Structure 1
Amino acid sequence: MTALNLYTMIVNVANITKELETAGMRLEIGGDFVAYRRLRNAQADRAPLYPMFDVSSSYVDAGNAFWVCGFNDKDELVHTQAIRRLDMASETLGEHINSHRHKYITPNSTPDPDRTFYSQPPALDRITGQVCYHGEFWLKGGDGGHRSQGFTALLSRVVFELALKIWAPDYVFGFVPMPLAFKGIPVRYGYTHCEPGTWIGPDKQITAEEALVWMGRSDIVQFLDTQPMALSHERRIPDRRELMNKMSVVA
């Protein structure tokens, strides 16, 4: 990492952080996954913490992972995401997931995790080397939340900027439920590849449908080289009164 690259990353993350703070979200970044587990367990309305980022299930700490949390002006948790580095120098992603599937299966989605497997995406046999798993992405909606306001792309940039400079991964991957993949959510995250996949249970039944989303290092660099759209420039959807006024003017 050159001094210029490090300085560029610092400036980029600082600008995003400032943009988010102006819009009402304060970020915290950390590597204490005991503290992260405590934050997640306090969210009764969310699915349980994924095992890959749970200190009670995985060896995860500041040496191989970090988390990003966002808080609103009431100090309420409104955003989470986490990323961890995985050494796959001697195996493919498909082999890795097969060996560690318990840590990737959505909690309570299958009657028997021991006999549930992920299949189909061609990239499973291609992704190898230094690989990062990106997960736990959540953004609160409704009152006090920030969905549909342009936050997603900026928040994912923070993680990719830091991961690229800390670990220089060969690949980054994650899982997205198929209904969200069909809506184009992976593109908002910045992912350039999205491959449909299924979790197959013990009786050959489909227990979950999740797309494998991934990027190579060059994809990450290209994504970060593009200028993000500022939140203040996001297209605002007019409310019903504005639409009626416009219709009256046209009439």
Structure 2
Amino acid sequence: MTIQFPQDATPFIASSRNILRSHGIEVTIGSNFEKYSEIIREERKVQNLGAPFNHELQDLQKSDSFWLIGRNERGELIHTQAAKKVPLGGKSLAGHLLRNFRDFPPPIPGVQLSQSRFRATPGAHNIHGHVVYHGEVWMAPEEGRYRGVGLSTVLARTGLLEVLRRWDPDYIYGFMLRTVAFKGFAERMGYMHNEPGALKWAIAGRDKPIEAFLTWLSREDARFLLDIPVEELVSQAA
């Protein structure tokens, strides 16, 4: 199937490639999640592999999932993200997550699933059809080199373009911890809808649960984003 954007995606592809190369970043996309697990275990020690993309827990096929990583000129891992199709079975995302939200825990120790909860947001009630979950987003914590210079904007849109090219879904969604959302990361990622209070995760040893926002895009939102000159977004972020 050929994906038709409001305008040809070639300008975005060329511009993003030039920006990443100017920072010495090489992007690799794959579907072997056993290999991805090894990369995370050996090279991303500050953040565990998320359960939704753990090949030992999930049936992750080439046709319905992929990962994307970025490496610097020294071959060091500086970025990750991953995506997979989520069959809703004719339900809304709200209906699906009421039963299945525990499949998307934060990658931190001590999560108490039985004491955690999902609250359906307005957007979750309206999300139907073909849906993709987008997660595993991480940037190397080198302020001024990888963070704060607009690279997350380019890399996120590279992942969104890959989602559209592979599956052209009706909606793309993810979850974002409140502390991260309040820093404006959802906007830099390009998520145009960011709804608070969706998830409350009980953590052993903590008095208060941690909150996650539901972040999402429609197909039209994603196409709109990819039609914006990425140089402008990077300039603003920088």
TM-score range relative to shorter protein:
0.7 to 0.9
Deviations 1:119-178 (A, max 9, x none): 152222221210011101111022895111110111111111121122111111111111
Counterpart-to-counterpart distance in 2, 1:111 and 1:2? 41
Structure 2: which amino acid aligns with 1:23?
H
Q: Any stretches of 5+ residues in structure 2 without a counterpart?
A: none
Match of 2:83 in 1: 83
Question: CA-atom RMSD, angstroms?
Answer: 2.7
Aligned partners of 1:18 and 1:206: how far apart in 2? Answer: 44
Cα distance in 2 for residues equivalent to 1:223 and 1:3: 15
Kept in 1: contact 2:94–2:120 (CA 8 A):
no
Could you state the TM-score of these two structures normalised by the residue count of structure 1?
0.82
Q: Partner residue of 1:41?
A: 41
1:141–1:42 Cα change, 3 Å: same
Q: CA deviation at 1:111?
A: 5.0
**Could you state the TM-score of these two structures normalised by the residue count of structure 2?**
0.86
Query: How many pairs align?
Result: 234
Closer/same/farther in 2, CA of residues 4 and 120 from structure 1, 3 Å limit: closer
Tell me which moved more, 185-194 or 89-98.
Answer: 89-98
Give, in angstroms, the shift of residue 118 of structure 1.
1.6
Q: How big is each residue's C-alpha offset from its partner over 1:23-68, in whole Å with a ceiling of 9 and x where there is no partner?
A: 1111111111111010111146323211111101111132111111
**Largest Rg, 1 or 2:** 1
2:130 alignment partner AA: Q
Contact in 2 for aligned 1:80/1:138 (Cα 8 Å): yes
Give the equivalent residue in structure 2 for 1:199. Answer: 200
Of the two structures, which has the highest relative contact order with CA contacts closer than 8 Å and spacing of 6 or more? 2
Question: 1:85-234 to 2 correspondence within 5 Å?
Answer: 85-108=85-108, 112-142=112-142, 146-197=146-197, 198-199=199-200, 201=202, 206-229=208-231, 233=235
Amino acid at match of 2:113: P
Identity %: 27
Task: Find the aligned partners of 2:44 and 2:136 in 1 and give their Cα distance.
Answer: 15
Structure 1 unaligned residues grouped into runs of 5+:
237-251
